[in-house]
Amino acid sequence: MEKIKMTTPLVEMDGDEMTRILWKMIKDNLLEPYIDLKTEYYDLGLEHRNETDDQVTVDSALATKKYKVAVKCATITPNAARMDEYDLKEMWKSPNGTIRAILDGTVFRAPIVVKGIEPCVKNWKKPITIARHAYGDVYKGSEMKIPGGAGKVELVYTAEDGSQTKELVHEFDGPGIVQGMHNINKSIESFARSCFSYALDTKQDLWFATKDTISKKYDHTFKDIFQEIFDAEYADQFKEAGIEYFYTLIDDAVARVMKSEGGYIWACKNYDGDVMSDMVSSAFGSLAMMTSVLVSPDGYYEYEAAHGTVQRHYYKHLKGEETSTNSVATIFAWTGALRKRGELDGNKDLMDFADKLEKATIDTIEAGEMTKDLALITTIENPTVLNSEEFIKAIAKRL
């Protein structure tokens, strides 16, 4: 077969540990035999980040602005143990955080749904995609312990001209706690735009929820900003695409999500997204089947798996032991990026290839051939447990 040509490169961000091993196997067995793969390669493996003083992470994000589409392997976020293990010059920041700060995007996480891996919630038939607003609220809060005795806490806003606006939080007459948090309209606006445009992109309804009845200024501002942007910029396009924007209270949303059959994007404030994305991913079966894409309001896309570098499996691999690590989410990161590249370049062959690779992957699992993590939870009888490489080869055979 003649290999599929690419006109514009993808930004390829390589990573660490077991996922770095899978990365190469995927390229060797599933991509390079069929595609004349054009990528601009950035090695975000921890060693190379350390050598370049993390400049490589910044460069890869800037390249994503240039080419608009990136695919990223899972990477280590260093902690104290990694400082010793890799003899690091500094405790480098999370690459995902650095990239997100440069691209200013929203992360959408969606499960890959296959027959035989059934969600705990039996009426969930289609994926539920969670969009988490990743700025502010309790994650950038200031807190205080009130030691006791009488005293009052106030919010004070001091304008540039020195004038002050005050709001009483509480008059304490004993010990207690207090927290101040913030958000900025600009960040909420770009979150809203990312959500609306990703809904159009994937032709799914968008749900959004806050507690605006209780939080009449804070949460209500989120509700208002979403509605204003929707009305001004997206209402017509949604109508044309046959999709809906649906706002409700957060508790009502949670109740409806449980009764729904899925198939929509659920936009969440920062804390709701943190909590609900873990609930949704575990209810759908496995973190190894969860994809993640960072979408910027300017139309840049970075695809990856939601899971980490699977360190425990990597140490087994280093000892020469066999591993059965699930590569599905990493494969879908590639297919997501290739499909988007194809879409932007008008490259139909590339888009078709992405569809075929996804189908071959799903068919392999549905035929009972899977990695150990899935074999433990599948409803398929007598599944064949494959090791990391055999699973990828089984997909290649179908492809």
The contact set with ligand NAP (CB under 6 A) reads: 74-77, 96, 287-288, 304, 307-312, 325-326, 373
The window from 72-80, 201-209, 274-282, 374-382 that contacts Mg ion (CB under 5 A) reads 274-282
C-beta of 270 vs 326, nearer to ligand NAP: 326
CB 252 within 8 A of CB 209: yes
274 binds, among ligand NAP, Mg ion, none (CB under 5 to 8 A by kind): Mg ion
C-beta of 119 vs 342, nearer to ligand NAP: 119
**Structure-token match 């390589």, residue found:** 14
Dihedral sign, Cα of residue 163, residue 169, residue 173, residue 176: negative
Q: How far is the CB of 223 from ligand NAP (least distance, A)?
A: 30
CB 361 within 8 A of CB 31: no
Q: How far is the CB of 388 from Mg ion (least distance, A)?
A: 27
278 binds, among ligand NAP, Mg ion, none (CB under 5 to 8 A by kind): Mg ion
C-beta of 107 vs 350, nearer to Mg ion: 107
C-beta of 257 vs 386, nearer to ligand NAP: 386
C-beta of 45 vs 262, nearer to ligand NAP: 45
Q: How far is the CB of 318 from ligand NAP (least distance, A)?
A: 14
Cβ neighbours of 317 (radius 10 Å): 17
Structure tokens at 10: 């993808």
35 binds, among Mg ion, ligand NAP, none (CB under 5 to 8 A by kind): none
Cα distance between residue 95 and residue 91, in whole Å = 12
Who's near 219: CB < 8 A, 6+ residues apart?
A: 210, 211, 212, 269
Q: How far is the CB of 287 from Mg ion (least distance, A)?
A: 11
Q: How far is the CB of 334 from ligand NAP (least distance, A)?
A: 14
C-beta of 57 vs 197, nearer to ligand NAP: 57
C-beta of 125 vs 312, nearer to ligand NAP: 312
Per rule CB under 5 A, is residue 233 in the interface with Mg ion?
no
Q: What angle do CA 358, 309, 289 make, to 5 degrees?
A: 30
265: exposed, middle or buried (Cβ count in 10 Å: 0-12, 13-18, 19+): buried
The window from 28-36, 206-214, 270-278, 359-367 that contacts Mg ion (CB under 5 A) reads 270-278
Residue facing ligand NAP at closest CB distance? 308
The window from 58-66, 263-271, 273-281, 311-319 that contacts Mg ion (CB under 5 A) reads 273-281
307 binds, among ligand NAP, Mg ion, none (CB under 5 to 8 A by kind): ligand NAP
Q: How far is the CB of 256 from ligand NAP (least distance, A)?
A: 29
C-beta of 66 vs 312, nearer to ligand NAP: 312
